[in-house]
Amino acid sequence: MKIFFSHPSQVKPAVKTVIKYMPASVQTWLDENDLTWGDQLSPVFEEAIKTQSDYVVIFVNELAARSEWVRRELGWAMEREKELGRTFVLPVYLRSEGDNVMSYFPELASRKNIQITDYTEFGLKTAADQLTAGLFSLICEDINKLQNPPAPKAVDTIDSAEEIIRNLAARMQEIIFPYRQENPITVEDMGERVCTGSEGLIAPDEFGPLLEKIVQRNMIPGLYYDGYEMYLVEEHSLWKSRMNHQKKAQIARKAASYIRSNMKVYIDAGSTTAEVVKIICKRMEMRALTGLTIVTPSINHADLISECSVKMGFDDEFTAVRLYLPKGRVRPGTQAIVPMEGEDDSFDILAKQLGGYDISIIGANGIDRQGGLTTHANLELTGKVSAFRNARKPIIICDDSKFGIVLESKIVSFDDDFLFISNKSPNLEEIRAEFPDRVILV
């Protein structure tokens, strides 16, 4: 056992006397004995406390309270105690008459402690005996806990099961992404993917029951499952932003580089366009972008821009941005505004009122040389197509995880006039070679 003694230098004689009367089996860490000439003090002391000591004994008095070193050592010791999950810091109070010694370190005030009021040889020997007995008691408690660990609580078992289900759902989200109605994955193949190899999360016989729980609780929104096959109907806003985040951020930076002050910009709903909005907000805060007119069908994007405006104190008299949302209703799954039934021209009407867009940044959900850039057959297509035809420079952004996916509705074909931005990928190099002026890979 090794004990680190934290103390102000003025009480070192008393500390050395206490150490003298402790058993030889108890090793002690004392700076004058354990420091080597030229040692960097801070790293050495922190290392000694966090990795070389079983307990830290801190000698507390007014001098200790004023000592920057003692406070620093106590901080390291409290961090280590939290890591260990057991008692690690043991206070010894050096009392003098009229001294409210318990108030110096409030974080230690409620702990069982040893108090020294007699600083004679006999008094310090008595303190050493008390400290030795206390250490022996703590060691016995630790041994007993190791030999008789508490039975797991029901709540711990439940928490563990929940973590397994969450991890399984997250892994399935990654696997299911490229599988759509045209190319579903079988339950057997999915089970093999999550149960075997170095990434195996569960035993094969556990997959069926856990899959049922995941489906019942809708933990993978947008998942189609009929008991035999599964595929992704549509990416859901709850989890798609976590997919390929670094790629999306790179694409967004390139797309945002085309935006200048005083432009009219359309920004589509989606997780990649959300990264564009974050960049715009940052540049508005830095006064690098001013006088923007932004139209977005995303209530999440609008919220980010609105918060930025409030933070910067923008108003109708002085504003860096004028924000417009198209007329319509909100789709719960994607938080995107879509036209009301019978009002498919609402996006075009807003675009014409503003005189069109300098730039539109549009998200896609599928990339294919022959199939073009596609999306799901839903009302969000109306906004994408309107933004494309009402922009002087339409930009479509999409990461390479969508390569090879052809969805029901085409936004544009690669023969149309637009700029396509994606991340570098062997799958997309062939398309870039064919359209070098239109395809940018970052």
> Superfamily for 2-147?
Toll/interleukin-1 receptor homology (TIR) domain (3.40.50.10140)
Closest CA to 196 of 178, 171, 176, 173: 171
- Three-state helix/strand/coil letters over the chain: CEEEEECCHHHHHHHHHHHHCCCCCCEEECHHHHCCCCCCHHHHHHHHHHHCCCEEEEEECHHHHHCHHHHHHHHHHHHHHHHHCCCCEEEEEECCCCCCHHHCCHHHCCCCCEEECCCCHHHHHHHHHHHHHHHHHHHHHHHHHHHCCCCCCHHHHHHHHHHHHHHHHHHHHHHHCCCCCCCCEEHHHHHHHHHCCCCCCCCHHHHHHHHHHHHHCCCCCCEEECCCEEEECCCCCCCHHHCCHHHHHHHHHHHHCCCCCCCEEEECCCHHHHHHHHHHHHHHHCCCCCCEEEECCEHHHHHHHHHHHHHHCCCCCCCCEEEECCCCEEECCCCEEECCCCCCCHHHHHHHHCCCEEEEEEECCEEECCCEEEECCCCHHHHHHHHHHCEEEEEEECCHHHECCCCCEEEECCCCCCEEEECCCHHHHHHHHHCCCCEEEC
What was the pLDDT predicted at 317?
A: 65
Question: Which CATH number is correct for 154-233, 1.25.40, 3.40.50, 1.10.3470, 1.10.10?
Answer: 1.10.10
Q: For the chain (length 442 residues), average pLDDT per consecutive 10? A: 90 92 84 49 83 92 90 92 90 84 87 90 92 88 76 62 86 86 90 74 85 89 89 71 79 96 96 94 91 95 92 76 92 85 87 97 93 86 94 96 89 94 93 94 96
CA angle, residues 184, 337, 301, in degrees to nearest 5: 95
* Architecture of the CATH domain 244-441: 3-Layer(aba) Sandwich (3.40)
Are 2-147 and 244-441 equal in CATH topology? yes
pTM of the model: 0.57
Separation CA 35–CA 31 (nearest Å): 5
Where in the chain are the domains? 2-147, 154-233, 244-441
